[in-house]
Amino acid sequence: MRADSVIPGSTLEMFAEKSAAFIEQIRGIDGVAGCALVSRDGIIAGKYFDRKFNEPWFGALSATLLASAESAGHLLDMKNPSEVLVRAAGSSMMVIGAGENFLIAAVLKSTARQEDVFSRINAVAVEIGRVM
């Protein structure tokens, strides 16, 4: 849907505004290089990245990462995992559930303190789960 076709004051406009506000909160966390608010179905609802890549695939794969971790945890009688952390030389990515409908996928800077970043992103995720 084109931005100019959104009716002012509509539910869609309010959703877009909330998504943008949450992305700004996540961007403001020290150590975050890029982030996306993604539906559990893999559709990107909001994003900020400092590089170009296939965003629909990123959304779908982020949702798959978290769903797979939840399924594996269920098989092992574990409580649902709160995050999935992907580490590589010089970078990492964190996927955190944000309520029943969304997740946050964040690309971290190499200097990020992962526990601090998780704690701050998790606080935003709790709020997303509460209001969306």
Alpha helix stretches (DSSP H) within the chain? 11-27, 55-75, 114-131
Tokens of 38: 């993604």
CA distance 90 to 32: 13
What's the pLDDT tens digit per position in 52-105? Answer: 889 999 999 999 999 999 999 989 998 878 789 999 988 899 999 999 999 999
Structure confidence at residue 2 (pLDDT): 41
Please tell me the pTM assigned to this model. 0.89
What's the pLDDT tens digit per position in 75-89? Answer: 999 887 878 999 998
Average pLDDT over all residues of the chain: 91
Residue with tokens 């608010």: 37
